[in-house]
């Protein structure tokens, strides 16, 4: 059984132990390695993440500060099988003292995985139907999105809501933390945001829904690759 205890990290390489497949995913110029170095370099919110909140249209979020930062946070979601593994999870405090649940999806040039149409067609379809229904309910979406929407974006955003419910947070936020010079797969993120009839630009945080008492935001932060000294 995996422990819920997280050991404080002293070096970016400490993040490797939390990966599902460390030898496969811990590589220079890949998201897990890049995220770990960027967040350690910042010792808090990296500048591009802080800027995302400062530029928010909601005054309370402009002064958001991190309380707890957890790499590879596992969020329980409906259906059998693996839980959602967030690249980074942050519990933060907004300027109005309310809690903020933030899930991060790191990207260099990797894709968002499988589009929904393909994801629904493989594995135990009854279980996948149950899982998808759970996620869509969390997001306030009554019907299946188009098959071209990426499942990973649905899952990560719903995870922000699940964590907000667990911590009794007023705000839930999902941020794609990209290190791609060409903003790879940004169009897929835009397509996802349009499910909520919203447009999101690079470097922008946008409120897309209110789920019960929780206000839901998504954003795309464009970061620079850190100086990768360690392997």
What is residue 2's predicted lDDT score, i.e. its pLDDT? 58
- What is the DSSP secondary-structure string of 112-181? ---BHHHHHHSS-HHHHHHHHHHHHHHHT--SPPPTTSBHHHHHHHHHHHHHHHHHT-SEEEEEEEE--T
What is residue 8's predicted lDDT score, i.e. its pLDDT? 75
Q: Is this structure's pTM higher than 0.75?
A: yes
The answer, yes or no, to whether residue 77 has pLDDT greater than 90, is no
Outline where 5-107 has alpha helix (H): 22-25, 31-42, 47-54
Average pLDDT estimate for 119-123: 89
What is residue 22's predicted lDDT score, i.e. its pLDDT? 73
Cβ distance 105 to 87 under 8 Å? yes
- pLDDT band (50, 70, 90) for residue 207: very high
Instruction: Classify each residue of 33-71 as buried b or exposed e, where b means 16 or more C-beta atoms within 10 Å of its C-beta.
Output: bbbbbbbbebeebbebbbebbeebebebbeebebeebeb
The answer, yes or no, to whether residue 38 has pLDDT greater than 80, is yes
The answer, yes or no, to whether residue 81 has pLDDT greater than 70, is no
pLDDT, one tens digit per residue, over 132-165 is 999 999 999 988 999 999 999 999 999 999 999 9
Average pLDDT estimate for 121-141: 92
């Amino acid at each position: 059984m995996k422990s819920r205890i997280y050991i404080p990290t002293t070096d970016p390489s400490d993040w490797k132990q939390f990966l599902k497949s460390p030898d496969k995913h811990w590589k220079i110029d890949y998201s897990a390695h890049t995220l770990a170095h960027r967040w350690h370099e910042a010792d808090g919110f990296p500048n591009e993440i802080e800027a995302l909140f400062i530029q928010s249209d909601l005054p309370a979020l402009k002064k958001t500060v991190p309380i707890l930062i957890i790499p590879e946070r596992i969020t329980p979601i409906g259906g059998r099988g693996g839980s959602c593994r967030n690249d980074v999870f942050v519990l933060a405090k907004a300027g109005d003292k309310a809690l903020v649940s933030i899930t991060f999806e790191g990207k260099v040039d990797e894709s968002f995985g499988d589009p929904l149409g393909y994801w629904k067609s493989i594995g135990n379809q009854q279980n996948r139907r149950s899982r998808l229904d759970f996620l869509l309910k969390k997001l306030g979406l009554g019907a299946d999105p188009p098959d071209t929407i990426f499942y990973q974006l649905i899952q990560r955003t719903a995870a922000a809501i699940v964590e907000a419910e667990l911590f009794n947070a007023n705000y839930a936020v999902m941020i794609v933390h990209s290190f791609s010079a060409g903003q790879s797969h940004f169009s897929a993120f835009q397509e996802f945001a349009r499910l909520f009839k919203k447009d999101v630009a690079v470097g922008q945080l946008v409120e897309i829904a209110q789920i019960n008492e929780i206000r839901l935001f998504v954003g795309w932060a464009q970061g620079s690759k850190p100086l990768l000294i360690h392997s």
